[in-house]
């Protein structure tokens, strides 16, 4: 059993990590649900119904029984209908001459708004008029005889255009809506086809109101993000700095605040990893002449100096924290891993575009991102576990079975488990033998039985030359010991 | 509440104080507060506000002494709010946090994900000791969770790809070209679409208010100057809040330990190499001094460049923040935007670095364990293969 403090801290870390993972999973599940639903057949309630009741909107309140179209309406309707018929004829002539190569599926489809599918034109128009909330999305597909006339451009565009108001509110655009109304009586009402994104997704159009709002939104964001220069902005900036100065006056500003300490510690952590990375590069480089060698030496010395400076700075920070009892924001959870990016303030507030060309690419990108996050977390956990567990191993009472179990568990936690998914799982337990060499940890890969037979004994205290050789030890019981199994002796003890 | 800030006059009734505490709490919360029962009580909010302001370095001690019940202190709270506003682009940052997202967004880095960790699960603190096997089990659970996450993510990307390709050519904005899931969803579900539109419109109103605020901002700062001048001079020493034990100190210790280890390694390497070098070069004449100095200069420049990578304000060489996904067949869209191939390249190099770092750490552990175990007589350390 681990001591209480250690347990608490480690449990907290691991649970934090599990919570974060679960949260990501939850968000992903939400998005998955939405996307899956989109790709299925859209519910019939969302596709236009043929009976007078339009769409999924609760129609009861939408149809006050008292509302009847006036004769004026009917007359207008009649006129418009005639005009529309003529338009259809003209276009029909044009399109036949044109001979378009539309996708076959498109020819037989058009998108209509649900409210216009009513075979009772005045009623429908009245309802549609009421349903003027512009977010009326285009409904599914309704097979009418109209498309059979081969008029692809009769595809209804911006559906939310209040096209169905027969009240003459929109003399400019009654055409599309009323056309459908006109078609409806002439067409035998047919069963609505199921709408799937796959087949008919190309035909969708966003409602006009939404488009307007969205473009206004991006325009406003662009305005907000633009770095305006000008007298007024300069004056404001000066006023702000002056205000800050006055706020600060009288109090020693050299005191560090917790947020700054946190930021600096983050920078120093990044520094450490960059220094280490550079050191690795220098150590593995192979100098061809003395100049490169000298360069390498100087670099390493420089790295050492910088590391010393960073350490010094860190000690200053530590002293400041101790002295002033700086406490960070208690609710906030410190990021469990240092993100490798700078994390600085972004002056571009609206999202930029990320272009991808194939699903494969997108998947690669997403999985790489997750892998980086995972590795970040793993490194952090590794450090935390190292800091907590290794001291335990060295201070606990050795020779007892619990200690051996501890060692084995610590090893499995700290030294194994690359998260590589393609790697073979589990540990098959041909034992490799370790050598107690000059501080090296080694792995031989010979299977134990073969080993046992041939070679002679060597005590561990010997120093066999070279890295590849292994020490052999006679095992008191069965030769193969799965590293994960509990045995009364724990790790092999030869006595 | 934001549009009202600009219109708030110099009236400072006592009723303003609770509203200001709430406002400051929402502004300072690390996570955009969801309207829910998760909000702490007003006194707790006030305490957290005080603590947060202190941790950011708020210079005036009068804030700490304010009563937490909201009976007074509206002037000081107003000063605190102005201080936050003056220090950085607070308004824009807040607006960006609650922005209506119309596209399918994918963050290209991990900062945001970590910064908003989600509601902390109610944690029952086990005071007891745990067996290390429990930790192993938790670790295994974590790995499994990550595996699931990656699989789900793959599926999600496949679905996104389908939606994007099925709605090619639908968008009114040519640079986007296709609908996003949000947009397609609004077409499928009219009620949801109406809600989205409402949210969009209210955001537009907020943005316009923000722009209006910008135009009038100077007046506000001039007024705040007078407010500050009207404050009685502070005489008392600032009192400190009790220290809240937190992992912040632990982070510092970890980094300190790493740096220490790094420095010792470097020291060892440098000593041997320097000794070897001196031995070789001892007999060399002064002729090579010039080249020596040139090398020194070159190294100095390289290391300065390296240092810039982590210094304050060091360039963000990497793409940052959430990006809206746009599917375009290779080469067609020459417009602005990040290319996925570039991001993939950057991520791969990051991955390689991190993997190397992890392997190195694991190797360190292995050595340490072998050393600890090997120090005892009669034991052999047997490793599973592949380690």
Which residues lie closer than 8 Å to B33 by C-beta, 6 or more apart? B25, B26, B39
Instruction: Report, as an integer, the average pLDDT of B225-254.
Output: 67
Work out the burial of residue A106: count CB atoms within 10 Å of its CB; fewer than 13 is exposed, 13-18 middle, 19 or more buried. Answer: middle
Residues B48-63 have pLDDT tens digits of: 888 888 878 888 888 8
pLDDT at B349: 85
Residue A310 with chain B: CB contacts under 8 Å: 259
- Tell me the average pLDDT across B284-309: 84
Report the b/e string of B263-274 with b at 16+ CB within 10 A.
bebbeebbeebe
Q: Which helix (H) or strand (E) holds A377?
A: helix A359-395
Task: Inform me whether the C-beta atom of residue A422 falls under 8 Å from chain B C-beta atoms.
Answer: no
Q: Tell me the DSSP string of A48-83.
A: PPSSSS-SSS--TTT--TT----HHHHHHHHHHHHH
Which of A172-186, A242-256, B224-238, B298-312 has the weakest average pLDDT? A172-186
User: Which pLDDT does position A287 carry in this prediction?
Assistant: 81
**Which range in A282-291, A303-312, B281-290 is most confidently predicted, on average pLDDT?**
A303-312
Cβ-count burial of A60 within 10 angstroms (0-12 exposed, 13-18 middle, 19+ buried)? exposed
ipTM of the complex: 0.81
Report the sign of the C-alpha dihedral through residues A303, A304, A307, A309, in that order: negative
Q: Which of B222, B330, B350 sits opposite A340 (nearest CB)?
A: B350
Q: Between A155 and B311, whose confidence is greater?
A: B311
Position A306 pLDDT exceeds 90? yes
How high is the pLDDT of residue A490? Answer: 38
Q: What secondary structure letter does DSSP report for A489?
A: T
Share of chain A above pLDDT 70, in %: 50
Instruction: Indicate the average pLDDT of chain A.
Output: 64
- Residue A270 has a pLDDT of 84
Q: What is the pLDDT of residue B290?
A: 81
**CB–CB contacts below 8 A, A to B:** 690
Give B221: exposed, middle or buried? Use CB within 10 Å, 0-12, 13-18, 19+. Answer: buried
**Residue B249 to residue A328: CA distance in whole angstroms:** 9
Give me the half-sphere count of Cα atoms (radius 13 Å) on the Cβ side of residue B176.
24
Tokens for A198, please give them: 């796959």
Nearest CB to A494: which of B108, B175, B378? B378
Rounded (10°) CA dihedral A300, A303, A308, A310: -170
Ranges A68-82, A448-462, B190-204, B323-337, most confident: B190-204
- The pLDDT of residue A299 is 93
Under the banding of pLDDT at 50, 70 and 90, the label for residue A57 is: very low
Cα gap A229→A218, rounded to integer Å:
21
Q: Which of residues 186-215 of B touch A (CB under 8 A)?
A: 186-191, 193-194, 196-197, 200-201, 203-204, 207-208, 210-211, 214-215
Min CA distance, A328 vs chain B (Å)?
Answer: 5
How many degrees, rounded to 5, is the angle at CA A361 between CA A358 and CA A362? Answer: 90
A204 touching B (Cβ < 8 Å): yes
Q: A374–B146: do the CB atoms touch at under 8 Å? A: yes
Residue A309 binned pLDDT confidence (cut-offs 50, 70, 90):
very high
Dig out the tokens for A260 from the structure. 């700054």
pLDDT of A293 strictly over 60: yes
**Neighbouring C-beta atoms of residue B291, cutoff 10 Å:** 12
Whose tokens are 């007298």? That residue is A231
The answer to whether the beta carbons of residues A304 and A310 sit under 8 Å apart is no
Chosen for mutation from B158, B251, B265 (greatest number of chain A CBs closer than 10 Å) is B251
User: Looking at the complex, does the CB of residue A335 fall below 8 Å from at least one CB of chain B?
Assistant: yes
CA-based radius of gyration for chain B = 29
For the stretch A117-147, pLDDT in tens is 434 444 444 444 444 344 444 443 344 443 3
In the prediction, which pLDDT does A482 show? 36
C-alpha distance from A82 to closest chain B C-alpha (Å):
31
Q: How far apart are the first and last CA of chain B?
A: 59
- Output the pLDDT for position B150: 95
d(CA A278, CA B303): 10
pLDDT recorded at residue B106: 86
Distance CA A337, CA B301 (A): 30
Which helix or strand (DSSP H or E) is residue A211 part of?
helix A208-225
In chain B, the percentage of residues whose pLDDT exceeds 70 is: 78
Average pLDDT over residues B225-248: 64
Taking alpha carbons only, the member of A110, A109, A205, A214 closest to residue A160 is A205
> Phi and psi of B246, rounded to 5°?
-150, 165
| DSSP codes joined into one string, A178-212 | HHHHHHHHHSPP-PPBPEEHHHHGGG----HHHHH
CA distance B181 to B164: 8
Best of A1, A10, A356 to mutate (most B CBs within 10 Å, chain B) = A356
Asked if A483 has any chain B CB less than 8 Å from its own CB, the reply is: yes
Taking an 8 Å cut-off on Cβ atoms, the answer to whether B351 and A265 are in contact is no
Contact A426, A400 (CB under 8 A): no
| Alpha helices, H only, chain B | 2-7, 16-28, 42-56, 74-87, 90-97, 111-115, 132-166, 181-188, 190-230, 247-281, 289-308, 340-374
The stretch B361-375 carries a mean pLDDT of: 82
Cα separation of B376 and B67, whole Å? 61
What's the CA gap between B203 and A135, in Å, rounded?
17
Of the listed ranges A86-90, A109-113, A262-266, B14-18, the one predicted with least confidence: A109-113
Say if residue A310's pLDDT is above 90.
Answer: yes
Q: Of the given ranges (A70-79, A252-261, A286-295, A475-484), which has the lowest mean pLDDT?
A: A475-484
Q: What is the pLDDT of residues A439-481, one digit of tens each?
A: 333 333 333 333 333 333 333 343 434 333 333 333 333 333 3
| A298-322 mean pLDDT | 89
> What is the torsional sign of CA B193, B196, B202, B206?
negative
pLDDT score for B139:
93
Per-residue model confidence as pLDDT tens digits over A401-421: 777 788 888 888 888 765 444
B383's tokens: 């490793």
Asked if A178 and A118 touch (Cβ cutoff 8 Å), the reply is no
* Minimum distance, in Å, between the CA of residue A75 and any CA atom of chain B: 32
Can you state the angle between helices B16-28 and B42-56, rounded to 10 degrees?
Answer: 60
- Is the CB of B166 less than 8 angstroms away from the CB of A291? no
The pLDDT of B284-299, averaged and rounded, is: 82
What is the predicted pLDDT for the residue at B122?
A: 54
A97 vs A78, which has greater pLDDT? A78
pLDDT-above-90 percentage for chain A: 14
* β-pair partners for A449: none
Task: With CB atoms and an 8 Å threshold, state whether B135 touches A197.
Answer: no
Tell me if A473 sits within 8 A of B374, measured CB to CB.
no
**Average of per-residue pLDDT values in chain B:** 80
B304–A contact, CB cutoff 8 A: no
Contacts of A252 (CB under 8 A, 6+ apart): none
Mean pLDDT of B41-51: 84
- Of A329 and A10, the one with more pLDDT: A10
Indicate left, alpha or beta for B203 from its phi (over 0: left) and psi (-120 to 50: alpha).
Answer: alpha
């Amino acid at each position: 059993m681990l001591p209480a403090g250690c347990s608490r801290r480690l449990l907290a870390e691991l649970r934090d990590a599990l919570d974060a993972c679960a949260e990501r999973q939850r968000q992903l599940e939400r998005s998955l649900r939405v996307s899956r639903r989109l790709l299925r057949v859209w519910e019939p309630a969302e596709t236009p119904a043929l009976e007078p009741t339009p769409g999924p909107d609760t129609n009861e309140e939408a149809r006050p029984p008292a509302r009847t179209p006036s004769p004026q309406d009917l007359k207008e309707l009649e006129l418009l209908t005639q005009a529309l018929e003529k338009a259809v004829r003209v276009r029909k002539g044009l399109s036949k001459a044109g001979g378009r190569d539309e996708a076959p599926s498109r020819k037989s489809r058009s998108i209509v708004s649900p409210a216009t599918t009513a075979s009772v034109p005045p009623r429908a128009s009245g309802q549609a008029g009421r349903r003027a909330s512009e977010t009326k999305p285009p409904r599914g597909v309704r097979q009418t005889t109209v498309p059979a006339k081969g008029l692809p451009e009769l595809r209804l565009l911006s559906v939310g255009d209040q096209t169905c108001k027969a009240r003459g509110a929109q003399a400019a655009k009654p055409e599309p809506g009323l056309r459908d109304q006109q078609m409806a009586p002439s067409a035998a009402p047919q069963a609505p086809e199921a709408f799937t994104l796959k087949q008919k997704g190309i035909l969708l159009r966003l409602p006009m109101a939404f488009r307007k709002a969205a473009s206004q939104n991006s325009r406003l964001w662009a305005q907000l993000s633009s770095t305006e220069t000008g007298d007024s902005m300069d004056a404001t900036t000066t006023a702000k700095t002056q205000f800050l100065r006055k706020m600060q006056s009288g109090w020693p500003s050299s005191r560090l605040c917790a947020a700054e300490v946190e930021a600096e510690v983050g920078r120093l952590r990044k520094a450490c990893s960059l220094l280490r990375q550079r050191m690795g590069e220098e150590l593995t480089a192979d100098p061809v002449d003395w100049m490169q060698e000298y360069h390498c030496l100087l670099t390493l010395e420089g790295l050492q100096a910088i590391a010393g400076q960073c350490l010094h700075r860190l000690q200053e920070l530590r002293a400041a924290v101790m002295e002033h009892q700086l406490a960070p924001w208690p609710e906030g959870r410190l990021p469990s891993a240092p993100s490798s990016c700078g994390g600085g303030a972004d002056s571009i507030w609206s999202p930029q575009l990320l272009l991808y060309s194939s699903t494969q690419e997108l998947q690669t990108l997403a999985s790489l991102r997750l892998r980086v996050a995972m590795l970040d977390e793993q490194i952090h956990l590794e450090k935390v576990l190292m800091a907590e567990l290794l001291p335990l191993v060295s201070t606990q009472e050795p020779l007892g079975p619990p200690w051996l179990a501890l060692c084995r568990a610590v090893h499995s936690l700290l030294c194994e488990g690359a998260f590589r998914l393609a790697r073979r799982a589990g540990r098959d337990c041909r034992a490799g033998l370790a050598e107690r060499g000059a501080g090296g940890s080694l792995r031989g890969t010979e299977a134990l039985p073969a080993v046992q037979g041939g070679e002679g004994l060597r005590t561990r205290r010997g120093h066999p030359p070279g890295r590849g050789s292994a020490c052999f030890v006679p095992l008191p019981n069965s030769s193969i010991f799965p590293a994960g199994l509990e045995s009364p002796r724990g790790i092999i003890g030869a006595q | 509440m934001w549009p009202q800030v600009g219109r708030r006059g110099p009236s400072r009734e006592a009723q303003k104080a609770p509203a200001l505490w709430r406002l400051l709490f929402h502004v300072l919360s690390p996570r955009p507060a969801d309207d829910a029962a998760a909000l702490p009580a007003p006194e707790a909010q006030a305490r957290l506000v005080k603590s947060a302001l202190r941790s950011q370095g708020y210079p005036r001690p009068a804030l700490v002494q304010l009563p937490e019940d909201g009976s007074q202190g509206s002037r000081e709270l107003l000063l605190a709010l102005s201080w936050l506003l003056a220090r950085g682009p607070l308004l824009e940052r807040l607006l960006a946090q609650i922005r209506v997202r119309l596209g399918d967004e994918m963050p290209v880095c991990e900062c945001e994900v970590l910064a908003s960790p989600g509601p902390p699960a109610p944690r029952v603190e086990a005071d007891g000791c745990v067996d290390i096997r429990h930790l192993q089990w938790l670790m295994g659970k974590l790995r499994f969770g990550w595996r699931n996450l990656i699989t789900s993510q793959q599926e999600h990307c496949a679905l996104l790809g389908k939606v994007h390709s099925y709605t090619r050519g639908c968008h009114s904005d040519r640079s986007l070209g296709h609908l996003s899931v949000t947009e397609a969803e609004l077409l499928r579900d009219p009620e949801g679409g109406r809600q989205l539109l409402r949210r969009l419109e209210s955001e537009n109103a907020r943005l316009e208010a923000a722009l209006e605020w910008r135009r009038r901002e100077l007046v506000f700062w001039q007024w705040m100057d007078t407010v500050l001048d009207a404050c009685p001079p502070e005489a008392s020493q600032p009192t400190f809040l009790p220290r809240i034990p937190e992992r912040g100190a632990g982070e510092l210790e970890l980094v300190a330990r790493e740096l220490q280890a790094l420095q010792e390694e470097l020291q060892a390497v440098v000593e041997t190499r320097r000794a070897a070098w001196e031995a070789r070069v001892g007999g060399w004449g002064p002729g090579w001094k010039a080249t020596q100095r040139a090398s020194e200069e070159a190294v100095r420049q390289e290391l300065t460049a390296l240092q810039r990578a982590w210094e304050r304000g060091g360039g963000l060489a990497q793409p940052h923040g959430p990006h809206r996904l746009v599917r375009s067949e290779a080469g067609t869209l020459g417009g602005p935007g990040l290319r996925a191939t570039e991001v993939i390249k950057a991520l791969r190099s990051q991955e390689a670095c991190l993997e190397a770092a992890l392997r190195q750490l694991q190797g360190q552990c292995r050595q340490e364990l072998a050393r600890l175990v090997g120090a005892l007589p009669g034991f052999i350390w047997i490793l599973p293969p592949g380690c």
